[in-house]
Amino acid sequence: MNATEEAGTEPKIGSRVHVLNADRSKELGYGTYMGEVPFKDVPDEPAACVAVDESIQLTEAEQAEVSAMVEQLMEGGATTPKIVLDSGEIIFGFQCWWREIDDDDTREQHWTCEKCKATGSVKYQLHGDVMSVVYLIEDDHKRVSPDCDQPVSSIRALNANVIN
Binding site for Zn ion (CB under 5 A): 113, 115-116, 145, 148, 150
> What residues form DSSP beta bridges with 32?
16, 84
The smaller minimum CB distance to Zn ion, of residues 55 and 154, is found at: 154
- Measure Cα distances from 47 to 11, 64, 68, 74, 150 in Å: 27, 10, 10, 11, 53
The smaller minimum CB distance to Zn ion, of residues 8 and 146, is found at: 146
In whole angstroms, give the CA distance from residue 32 to residue 38: 18
Task: Quote the least distance from Cβ 160 to Zn ion, whole Å.
Answer: 19
Task: Quote the least distance from Cβ 129 to Zn ion, whole Å.
Answer: 23
Task: Quote the least distance from Cβ 51 to Zn ion, whole Å.
Answer: 51
The smaller minimum CB distance to Zn ion, of residues 48 and 148, is found at: 148
